[in-house]
């Protein structure tokens, strides 16, 4: 492994060094780099319980040899480690089957997108700590039924991303965010409930801990007094936040990579009606306030909005340059990397199910059934290959459009395509989620629940 | 990795702000990842994770910082930052806190890899994967096979201001197979992914062919299954990965990470009966070559075997250093973290319900109408409420004490405190299954395990 005495290059220095070595060896190479400096403050019981500072950087390499890609990465930016990473990427390419359409591109310039705002350099550590403490106090003081606030805090990050390749591409961008979150535990008559809330921004001064704390406490208290849920199939109002969670779990069905590997239930259905005519789904990486916004993707391809479902008709899949070439189309700018360690895949940025024309009262009017407000357990209970889900759920029972009572832990089960096809009305207000998906409330004719 | 003089200097610099304790964690980890899709090598990658983390404790309060700049200058800079970070006030003394005499932690390796991943050619790793592919491809209705291979060699140094000096090399190897069976528009997946804290010799014991065959068996068994019913039913849960129920329903809330925040329904229940008397549960870091083996934990303490529940009575929690400070319970060698970017937290190792008196057959035959959950998927829990859920990968209806038709799309939900009392029968066929457990200190390898168990009543989330 490594000696401590080796000098570490900068991210830009490492990119230049690797591209120079690759050109000398006649290797086609892409270098992706990221650097992230971050602050995290957790507060508990009126005190800072954890404080974390970090500076992390590294490069991921992708070498094209004989029509095949080989990957490697290193967080050690000394020249011997970079040489090893290049050797390893070239060796790996020699093992991998050649991919039709594999190639590097010199894309046009990305859109001008300010994801940096005023920056965080003027914000002191004390101010950040104060946000976490204010949030913790506001949540504890909001109601006597709050027994503790087990999870809450502040985070920010200043991120630099770069992509370069031996075709001459050279892209670099910075972005920044600050957020806070809180999850108050409330208790009454032996029942414990907890529901988080959060706020994401690119401007520190917009953070409002009191509002977030009150919203979280209100949502948690609403769950108290739960009664056993019935089992059966009922009409349902699905809250926008919950629909956003479901769409995030199943975003892979729109991935060109999953489609080409036969792992999407939408494979072969481009142009067909796959959802209710009320459904229009878009992905927009260029929203300034989007959690996953970016000017260019992991291959350096410029970002543009994409319509996936238009009026219920499947309009497009998301592609990176490699999957697009094999599908006979062009990249939609959805090349993605999950950190440095993986390969280049396909992923959405900010998904949005477009708002419709039905107001909240009309959506619930006359409905006796389920108001679904949350699901969990999606990493195991949602199968993006089939679209099937069976998930732990949270929600309320509605009697003739009015909330009757919250429900004890229960499940919902179904298939995401059946659910999208069964949408009867779409609400007029968009809800944001922590999963970078926004969606309105919708009403569906039937949803299977499992309760007592 | 680092000499003692530099480590002592860094720890001393870091404590200038008045910290009670400082700990340095240095990591150099090399991984290999390979993927076969339909027998073709689709991805080959891996690389070098490299960095250092510095943790300070002021009482039980934690300040943590990490960097990739693991040079003497980089580490001194990190120590300086972390010393100033406490309140942001930047008030630090000008002097360090003096030298340190380190004592090496005497923990002989619990297991030594024979076919070390760093000394094995990638072509040999691919050969194992092709054998796994062969075990699944073309079996019954299997149309698509993915094989993933992972190995990771993590070298760590943990040095702290108490004078602890621990070095360890951890080796993990794993092959996972995902098989998709298809018949017309019907499609079902089967997954199997055993791994170990061993080198490639692990695949002599658990052959790659058997991994592929098991994934294919599950996919075929479920392909023509009907949907599971919904409602409260008795459920027999299979051994091995079935232990995920204890992991989610109970394990996480016995970590001091939850207990110390009063986010555990078991926080004040030590010595009390919390489970049916047939339940004895253990969290063990000392199983040689296990996926969840801990020779020394990420706080430099040798791993231990911790009896959590004995005949239904809560005996112990899983405790890390901060947990000890906050709860007063002694550390159990449970301080774990994904890598240098996380401060350690109390986490599970190899966690299992121990053997009981029944047999799988006697449990199944005692159920009139219920579910046999033979293979489980993953799950999750909300600490604080104890509500948990997990997915069933392979299930059957039990009718009149007999295993009947296959069922798909089931999940189980419940509440740990309640359901632990409902584990009314435990068989004697304990085995362990491997998973990645995600929590506050990242994603770490843990074993789950159990013999077949009978839960008298649990909510099944089907849709039939």
pLDDT over threshold 90, residue B355: yes
- In angstroms, what separates the C-alpha of A293 from chain B's closest C-alpha? 24
> Could you tell me if residue B372 is inside a domain?
yes
Mean pLDDT is lowest, of A78-87, A326-335, B65-74, for: B65-74
Number of domains composing chain B? 3
B89 pLDDT band, cuts 50/70/90, is very low
Judge whether B104 is closer than 8 Å to chain A, CB to CB.
Answer: no
Whether B120 and chain A come into contact, CB under 8 Å, resolves to: no
Closest to A343 (Cβ–Cβ): which among B2, B45, B188? Answer: B45
Q: Do B409 and A52 touch (CB under 8 A)?
A: no
The single residue listed with the structure tokens 């991805």 is B43
pLDDT level of residue B94 (50, 70, 90 thresholds): very low
Cβ-nearest to B47 among A6, A8, A74: A74
Residues B148 and B242 in one domain: no
Average pLDDT over residues A257-277: 95
The CATH class given to the A125-160+172-222 domain equals alpha beta
Q: Minimal CA–CA distance to B23: which of B39, B41, B40, B10?
A: B10
Interface test with A, best of B39, B71, B390, B463 (most A CBs within 10 A): B463
Mutating which of B411, B441, B460, B464 best tests the A interface, going by the most A Cβ atoms within 10 A?
A: B411
Question: pLDDT digit string (tens) for B135-163?
Answer: 999 999 999 999 999 999 999 999 999 99
What is d(CA A286, CA A111) in angstroms, rounded to the nearest whole number?
A: 8
Question: Given a cut of 60, is residue B246 above it in pLDDT?
Answer: yes
Q: Are residues B129 and B178 in the same domain?
A: yes
Asked if residue B88 has pLDDT above 70, the reply is: no
Kindly report, residue by residue over A281-316, the tens digit of the pLDDT.
999 999 988 999 999 999 999 999 999 999 999 999
Instruction: Among B160, B191, B225, identify where a domain stops.
Output: B225
Residue of B nearest to A409 (CA): B414
Taking alpha carbons only, the member of B32, B27, B41 closest to residue B150 is B32
Is the separation of the CB atoms in A165 and A300 below 8 Å? yes
Distances (CA, A) of A105 to A23, A110, A330, A374, B408: 16, 13, 11, 42, 45
What pLDDT is attached to residue B61?
87
The alpha carbon of residue B262 and the mean position of all alpha carbons in its chain are separated, in whole angstroms, by 23
B-chain residues near A221 (CB < 8 A) = none
Q: Return the H-helix or E-strand segment holding A86.
A: helix A79-95
Distance CA B274, CA B251 (A): 13
**CA pair distance A272, B18, nearest whole angstrom:** 67
The CATH number covering residue B79 comes to 3.30.720
Chain Cα centroid distance, residue A201: 15
Structure tokens at A124: 């002191």
DSSP character at residue B35: E
Which residue in A62, A224, A409, A447 has the most chain B C-beta atoms within 10 A of its own C-beta, making it the best mutation to test that interface?
A: A409
Is B151 exposed, middle or buried (CB count within 10 Å of its CB: 0-12, 13-18, 19+)?
A: buried
- A45-77 per-position pLDDT tens digit: 998 888 999 999 999 999 999 999 999 999 999
pLDDT, mean over chain B:
92
On whether both B183 and B207 belong to a single domain, the answer is yes
User: CB B461 to CB A392 under 8 A?
Assistant: yes
Q: Is residue B352 part of a domain?
A: yes
- CB atoms B70 and A55 under 8 Å: no
CA distance A111 to chain B (A): 31
In angstroms, the CA B113 to CA B122 distance is 17
| B326 plus B384 within the same structural domain | yes
Same domain, B176 and B195: yes
pLDDT band at residue A180 using 50, 70 and 90 as cut-offs: very high
User: Is position B49 within any domain?
Assistant: yes
Average pLDDT for residues B98-110, to the nearest whole number? 84
Which of B210, B225, B240 terminates a domain? The answer is B225
Q: What is the pLDDT of residue B90?
A: 43
Q: Is A83 helix (H, G, I), strand (E, B) or coil?
A: helix
- Residues A360 and A441 sit within 8 Å (Cβ to Cβ): yes
Q: Which residues of chain A neighbour B63 with C-beta distances below 8 Å?
A: 50-53
Q: Does B395 touch chain A (CB under 8 A)?
A: no
**In-domain check, residue B109:** no
Q: Do A150 and B262 touch (CB under 8 A)?
A: yes
Task: Answer yes or no: is B78 within a domain.
Answer: yes
Residue range(s) defining the domain that contains residue B99: 4-32+43-104
Contacts of A88 in chain B (CB under 8 A): 46-47
Beta strands B40-58 and A68-74, pairing class: parallel
Nearest chain A CA: its distance from B362 CA (Å)? 26
pLDDT at B164: 96
Instruction: Let me know whether B121 and B209 are in one domain.
Output: yes
Angle in degrees, 0-180, between the axes of helices B72-84 and B4-14, rounded to the nearest 10: 20
Q: What is the mean pLDDT of the segment spanning A426-451?
A: 95
Does the predicted interface ipTM exceed a cut of 0.95? no
> A37, A53, A82, A230: which to substitute to probe chain B, counting the most B Cβ within 10 Å?
A53
Cβ neighbours of residue A433 closer than 8 Å, sequence gap 6 or more: A240, A241, A244, A245, A248, A439
Asked if A4's CB is within 8 angstroms of B72's CB, the reply is: yes
Contact flag B387-A88 (C-beta cutoff 8 Å): no
Inter-axis angle of helices A125-141 and A209-222, nearest 10: 30
Residue among A4, A49, A411 whose CB faces B71 most closely:
A4
pLDDT (0 to 100) of residue B409: 78
pLDDT mean over B32-44: 95
Query: Is B188 within 8 Å of A386 when comparing Cβ atoms?
Result: yes
Place of tokens 């706080």: B299
B411 and B454 in a single domain? The answer is yes
d(CA A204, CA A74): 32
Q: Which residues contact B411 (CB under 8 A, 6 or more apart)?
A: A377, A380, A381, A390, A391, A392, A411, A413, B389, B390, B391, B392, B460, B461
Q: Which residue of A has its CA nearest to B46?
A: A72
| Residues 219-258 in B contacting A (C-alpha not used; CB under 8 Å) | 227-228, 230-232, 258
β-strand A47-65 against A28-44: which pairing, if any? antiparallel
Residue B163 inside a domain? The answer is no
Whether pLDDT at B426 is above 70: yes
Which positions in chain A touch B377 (Cβ < 8 Å)? Answer: 380-381
Q: Both ends of chain A: CA-CA distance in Å?
A: 56
- Quote the radius of gyration of chain A (alpha carbons, Å): 24
- Greatest mean pLDDT range, A114-118, A331-335, B245-249: A331-335
**Contact call for residues B389 and B377 (beta carbons, < 8 A):** no
Whether residues A71 and B43 touch (CB distance < 8 A) is answered with yes
Could you list the beta-strand ranges (E) of A267-328.
281-283, 306-310, 313-314
B86 interfaces chain A, CB cutoff of 8 Å = yes
Which chain A residues touch B231 with a CB distance below 8 Å?
231, 450-452
Position A3 scores a pLDDT of 54
Minimal Cα distance from B125: which residue of A? A95
Q: What is the CA radius of gyration of chain B?
A: 24
Contact state of A88 with B65 under an 8 Å Cβ cutoff: no
B234 and B207 both lie in a single domain? no
Chain B residues in contact with A101 by the CB 8 A cut-off are none
* Whether B180 contacts chain A with CB within 8 A: yes
Task: Sort out which chain A residues have CB atoms less than 8 A from B44's CB and list them.
Answer: 70-71, 92-93, 95-96
Q: What is the pLDDT of residue B95?
A: 52
Q: Does B326 touch chain A (CB under 8 A)?
A: no
Q: For position A357, what pLDDT does the model report?
A: 94
Q: Is there a domain that residue B159 lies in?
A: no
Cβ contact, residue pair B230, A183, below 8 Å: no
Residues β-bridged to residue B446: B435
> Residue B101's pLDDT band (boundaries 50, 70, 90)?
confident
Cβ contacts (< 8 Å) between A44 and chain B: which residues?
A: 261
- Looking at the complex, report in whole angstroms how far the Cα of residue B357 sits from the nearest Cα belonging to chain A: 30
Helices and strands of chain B, counted as H and E runs:
10, 24
User: Cβ of B122 and A95 within 8 Å?
Assistant: yes
**Alpha carbons A177 and A179: distance in angstroms, whole number:** 7
Residue B190 sits in a domain of what CATH number? Answer: 3.30.2290.10
Backbone dihedral angles phi then psi of residue B39, each to the nearest 5 degrees: 85, -10
Please give, rounded to a whole number of angstroms, the shortest distance from the CA of B123 to a CA of chain A: 8
Separation of alpha carbons A81 and A281, rounded Å: 44
Query: Apex CA B419: angle with CA B416 and CA B422, to 5°?
Result: 155
Using DSSP bridges, classify how beta strands B423-426 and B411-415 pair: parallel, antiparallel or unpaired. Answer: unpaired
Q: Which of B44, B127, B231, B390 should be substituted to probe chain A, the one whose Cβ sees the most A Cβ atoms within 10 Å?
A: B44
d(CA B401, CA B179): 30
In the prediction, which pLDDT does B263 show? 66
Residue owning tokens 């023509």: B224
Rounded to 5 degrees, φ, ψ at A190 are: 80, 0
Q: How far is residue B458 from each of residues A407, A409, B234, B415, B419, measured CA to CA in Å?
A: 16, 11, 6, 9, 7
pLDDT confidence band for A125 (50 / 70 / 90): confident
Task: Give A193 or B100, the one with higher predicted confidence.
Answer: A193
Residue B111 within any structural domain of the chain: no
Confidence of residue B93 (pLDDT cuts 50, 70, 90): low
Q: Does residue A24 surpass a pLDDT of 50? A: yes
Instruction: Indicate the domain borders of chain A.
Output: 125-160+172-222, 226-452
Q: Which residues of A touch B69 (CB under 8 A)?
A: 8, 55
Mean pLDDT of A25-38: 96
Name the nearest CA neighbour of B351 among B264, B292, B415. Answer: B292
Q: CA of A448: which chain B residue's CA is closest?
A: B463
**Rounded distance, CA A58 to CA A323, Å?**
26
| Interface residue B87 vs chain A (CB under 8 A) | yes
B50: nearest CB among A2, A193, A194 = A2
- Residue identified by tokens 């600490």 is B383
Lowest mean pLDDT among A130-134, B235-239, B260-264: B260-264
Q: Are B387 and A392 inside 8 Å of each other by CB?
A: yes
């Amino acid at each position: 492994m490594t000696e401590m005495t080796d000098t570490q290059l900068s991210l830009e220095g490492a990119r230049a060094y690797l591209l120079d070595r690759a050109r000398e060896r006649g290797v086609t190479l892409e270098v992706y780099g990221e650097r992230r400096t971050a602050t995290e403050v957790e507060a508990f019981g009126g005190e800072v319980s954890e404080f974390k500072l970090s500076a992390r950087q590294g490069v991921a390499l992708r070498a094209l040899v004989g029509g095949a890609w080989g990957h490697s990465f290193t967080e050690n930016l000394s020249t011997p480690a970079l040489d090893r990473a290049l050797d390893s990427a070239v060796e790996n390419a020699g093992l991998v089957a050649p991919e039709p359409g594999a190639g590097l591109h010199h894309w046009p310039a990305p859109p001008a997108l300010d994801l940096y705002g005023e920056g965080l350099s003027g914000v002191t550590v004390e101010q950040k700590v104060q946000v976490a403490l204010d949030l913790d106090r506001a949540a504890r003081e909001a109601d006597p039924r709050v027994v503790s606030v087990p999870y809450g805090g502040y985070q920010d990050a200043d991120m630099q991303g770069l992509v370069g390749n031996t075709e001459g591409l050279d892209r670099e961008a910075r972005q920044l965010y600050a957020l806070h979150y809180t999850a108050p535990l409330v208790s009454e008559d032996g029942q414990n409930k907890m529901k988080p809330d959060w706020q994401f921004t690119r401007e520190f001064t917009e953070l409002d801990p009191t509002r977030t704390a009150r919203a979280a406490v209100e949502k948690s208290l609403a769950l108290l007094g739960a009664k056993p849920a019935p089992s059966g199939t009922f009409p349902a109002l699905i809250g926008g936040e919950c629909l956003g969670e479901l769409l995030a779990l199943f975003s892979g069905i729109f991935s060109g990579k999953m489609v080409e590997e036969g792992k999407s239930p939408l494979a072969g259905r481009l142009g067909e009606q796959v959802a209710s005519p009320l459904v229009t789904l878009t992905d927009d990486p260029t929203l300034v306030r989007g959690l996953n916004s970016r000017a260019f993707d992991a291959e350096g391809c410029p970002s543009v909005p994409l319509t996936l479902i238009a009026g219920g008709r499947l309009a497009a899949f998301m592609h990176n340059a490699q999957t697009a070439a094999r599908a006979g189309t062009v990249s939609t700018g959805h090349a993605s990397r999950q950190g440095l360690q993986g390969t280049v895949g396909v992923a959405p940025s900010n998904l949005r199910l477009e708002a419709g024309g039905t107001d909240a009262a009309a959506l619930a009017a006359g409905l006796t059934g389920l108001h679904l407000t949350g699901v969990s357990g999606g990493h195991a209970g949602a199968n993006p290959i089939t679209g099937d889900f069976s998930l732990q759920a949270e929600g309320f029972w509605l009697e003739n459009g009015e909330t009757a009572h919250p429900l004890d832990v229960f499940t919902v089960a179904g298939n995401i395509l059946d659910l999208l096809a069964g949408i009867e009305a779409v609400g007029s207000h968009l809800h944001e989620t922590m999963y970078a998906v926004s969606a309105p409330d919708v009403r569906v004719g039937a949803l299977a629940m499992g309760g007592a | 990795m680092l000499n003692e003089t530099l480590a002592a200097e860094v720890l001393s610099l870091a404590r200038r702000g008045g910290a009670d304790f400082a700990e340095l964690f240095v990591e150099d980890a090399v991984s290999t990842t390979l993927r076969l899709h339909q027998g073709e090598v689709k991805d080959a990658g891996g690389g070098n994770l490299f960095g250092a983390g510095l943790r300070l404790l002021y009482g039980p309060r934690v300040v943590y910082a990490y960097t990739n700049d693991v040079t003497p200058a980089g580490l001194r800079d990190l120590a300086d930052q972390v010393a100033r970070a406490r309140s942001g006030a930047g008030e630090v003394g000008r002097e360090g806190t003096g030298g340190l005499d380190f004592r090496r932690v005497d923990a002989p390796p619990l297991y030594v890899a024979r076919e070390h991943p760093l000394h094995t050619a990638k072509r040999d790793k691919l050969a194992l994967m092709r054998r796994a592919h062969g075990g699944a491809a073309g079996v019954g209705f299997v149309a698509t096979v993915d094989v993933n291979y992972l190995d990771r060699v993590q070298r760590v140094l943990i040095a702290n201001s108490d004078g602890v000096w621990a070095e360890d090399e951890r080796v993990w190897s794993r092959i996972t197979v995902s098989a998709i069976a298809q018949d017309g528009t019907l499609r079902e997946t089967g997954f199997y992914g055993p791994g170990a804290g061993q080198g490639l010799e692990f695949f002599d014991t658990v052959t790659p062919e058997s991994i592929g065959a098991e994934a294919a068996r599950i996919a075929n068994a479920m392909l023509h299954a009907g949907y599971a019913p919904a409602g409260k039913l008795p459920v027999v849960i299979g051994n091995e990965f079935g232990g995920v129920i204890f992991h989610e329903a109970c394990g996480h809330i016995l970590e001091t990470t939850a207990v110390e925040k009063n986010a555990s329904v078991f926080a004040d229940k030590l010595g009390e009966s919390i489970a049916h008397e047939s339940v004895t549960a253990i969290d063990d870091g000392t199983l040689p070559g296990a996926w969840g083996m801990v020779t020394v934990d990420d706080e430099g303490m040798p791993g231990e075997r911790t009896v959590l529940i004995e005949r239904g009575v809560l005996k112990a929690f899983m405790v890390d250093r901060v947990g000890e400070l906050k709860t007063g319970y002694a550390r159990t060698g449970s301080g774990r973290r994904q890598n240098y970017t996380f401060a350690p937290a109390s986490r599970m190792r190899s966690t299992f319900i121990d053997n009981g008196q029944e047999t799988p057959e006697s449990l199944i035959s005692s159920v009139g109408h219920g579910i046999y959950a033979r293979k489980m998927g993953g799950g999750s829990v909300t600490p604080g409420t104890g509500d948990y859920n997990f997915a069933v990968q392979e299930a059957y209806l039990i009718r009149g004490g007999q295993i009947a038709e296959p069922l798909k799309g089931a999940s189980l939900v419940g509440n740990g405190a309640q359901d632990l009392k409902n584990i009314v029968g435990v068989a004697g066929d304990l085995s362990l299954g491997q998973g990645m457990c995600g929590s506050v200190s990242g994603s770490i390898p843990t074993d789950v395990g159990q013999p077949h168990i009978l839960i008298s009543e649990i909510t099944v989330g089907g849709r039939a």
